[in-house]
Amino acid sequence: MEDEEEQEEGEEKEEDEEKEKEDEVKEKEDEEPPPCPLTEEHFKEGLSLLCKTGNGLAHAYVKFEAKDKGLTDISLLERFIHLRYVDLSKNKLKDLAPLSSLTQLLWLKVDRNLLTSASMQELPYLQVISFDRNHIVDFEGITHPLLTNLSLKENKIETVLGLSHDHLFSLQVLELRGNKINTTAGLGVSKLKKLYLAKNTICSLEGLEEFEQLEILHLRDNKLEALDGFSASMKCLQYLNLRDFTTCMGLLALLSVLLFLQEQWDQKLSGGGKAAGAAHAAGAGADGQSVCPRTRLPTAGPVLAATAAAPRQGNSRGRGAGRGRENPTDKEGKRKRKGNARIS
């Protein structure tokens, strides 16, 4: 999970830079924007990626980008039914209704607009949506059956209620950093693999026992008072970020979570049979990864970003054997062999 740390650091730097820019134009954004509809000229500039249409009988442009154009109306999009990738970031949009006709849409990005709702008509093939840095307050109207990645970073969401596994049974990645969420209770999408909840106001962890497939959980920069919401069912958890959770009681809770996760990994590794047990004893996990000697967790992903990563095990001895000092008996053997060579 080292890539996860690097990616997070890069995202934090980008966020800080973007916030500085946003502060400069905040007063202008609060004013009612002048009308600016999407035009044919915008399409001439933004259309790309010529592909076959769904029936394979014709060709059409399937990608459209119109970023930072001041757009307030995208009604013209209704005519371009073959679009699959659309980026309308950094505009002044308040309504996405015209997108309902784009039934082939796979990927949508509408960051930094003036949206107060993420509600859209259900799109059967939509897989990725990003609503970052809008004014969205809830999850109402997000019902796309093939959606795997949903990002609502830095909006005004206060509760996780509203997402349903019945409508979002394919969802694996949920990004909710920088909102106003105060609890994890009621998050109804239990098949998630990655959940990002950093920079909220979360005080308690509830309902996590349902997330049996969760691999990555970000909880840094919250207001957590305890870490008693973890469950034995969370056996897939590999990366847990609790940075800034450093009170005295917090450190004790952190230790208890470490011990809890160690037990889960012990059970998971011991269930892999004799081969897994031999690999574990040799300093490797069931998948061949090196194992942290203290927590016995794969060091490919530091489980707690709030603690220092444990050193990798396995290579140090091999290198020491090859580069360390020679055994005195080996030196004596070399002298004897040289002497025998001279006599002969």
At residue 225, the pLDDT reads 80
pLDDT tens string 177-221: 999 999 999 888 989 999 999 999 999 899 888 899 999 999 999
CA distances for 55 relative to 59, 102, 215, 217, angstroms: 10, 15, 38, 41
Cα Rg for the chain, rounded, in angstroms? 27
pLDDT tens string 264-321: 667 767 765 444 443 333 333 434 433 333 333 333 334 454 443 333 444 444 444 4
- Provide the mean pLDDT of the chain: 78
At residue 190, the pLDDT reads 86
pLDDT above 70: percentage of residues in the chain: 64
Cα–Cα distance, 190 to 174 (Å, whole number): 11
| H or E element at residue 216 | strand 216-218
From the list 275, 206, 282, 198, the residue with the least C-alpha distance to 240 is 198
Banded pLDDT at 127 (limits 50, 70, 90): very high
pLDDT tens string 217-258: 999 999 988 778 888 888 899 998 988 765 545 555 666 666
Which residues are paired to 93 by β-bridges? none
